[in-house]
Amino acid sequence: MRWIWIDTFVDFESGKRASAVKNISLAEEYLHDHFPGYPVFPPPLMIEGMAQTAGILAGEARGFAENVILAKIRLAKFEDYARPGDQLRYDAVLDSIDERAAVSSGTVFLNGVQIGRVDLIFSHVRGDNTLGLPDYNFVFTEQFTNLLASFRDQITSGSTTADEG
């Protein structure tokens, strides 16, 4: 099992921006406890969803050479709740990226209406440094990179946008 909080990418422009969606289903067990009788998608998982959207955007921009680790939540603001049956969309923009880190700004939409902002910083960590980390990429496993499968052709040929409709 893997901790994946986005269902699919609907837009991916290499090194620039990405959009992913998450459909919320009452089949997801945690919603039965959060809260009993009133299921609400936990806002911290919206931060995670944005981190995965922006993190894959940052990772892909440098050929998945480094582990991209969420290092700081610059901003997280939500103005509404998401509930079963709703669709969340995470729009992430890569503001800057270099060998040290990546900075993203993001907007969260609930059924197409903007409800939040999440701005993040990621650290780039290579396995061969002194932190005692594994020497393989432990962030971008196959399950994560498979999320980009439908965009692979566009990415390798210079990237573009998919049809959202």
Partner 1 sequence: MAPSQDEVFEKVQDLLSDALGVDTEEVSPEATLQGDLGAESIDFLDIVFRLEKAFSIKIPKGELFPDDIMNNPEYVNGDQMTPVGLEMLKQAMPHADFSEFESDPSMSRVPELFTVKTIVNYVESKLAAA
* Catalytic positions: 34
**Cβ atoms of 103 and 97 closer than 8 Å:** yes
If the CB atoms of residues 88 and 94 are measured against partner 1, the closer one turns out to be 94
Tokens encoding 157: 């040929």
**Which residue, 130 or 156, is less far from partner 1 as judged by CB?**
130
Which one of 36, 38, 63, 100 is in contact with partner 1 (CB under 8 A)?
100
Q: How many residues bind partner 1 (CB under 8 A)?
A: 10
Stretch that binds partner 1, among 22-30, 31-39, 84-92, 96-104 (CB under 8 A): 96-104
Q: Under the criterion CB under 8 A, does residue 121 sit at the interface with partner 1?
A: yes
Distance CA 87, CA 67 (A): 29
Residue closer to partner 1, measured from CB, 57 or 101 = 101
- Tokens describing residue 147: 């999320």
Q: Report DSSP state, residue 60.
A: H
Q: What are phi and psi of 6, to 5 degrees?
A: -130, 145
Which tokens belong to 104? 């993203």
With contacts defined by CB under 8 A, name the span among 11-19, 56-64, 68-76, 156-164 that binds partner 1: 68-76
Query: In three state form, how does the secondary structure of 91-122 look?
Result: EEEEEEECCCEEEEEEEEEECCEEEEEEEEEE
Q: Is 58 in the site for partner 1 (CB under 8 A)?
A: no
Binding site for partner 1 (CB under 8 A): 71-72, 74, 95-96, 100-101, 103, 121, 123
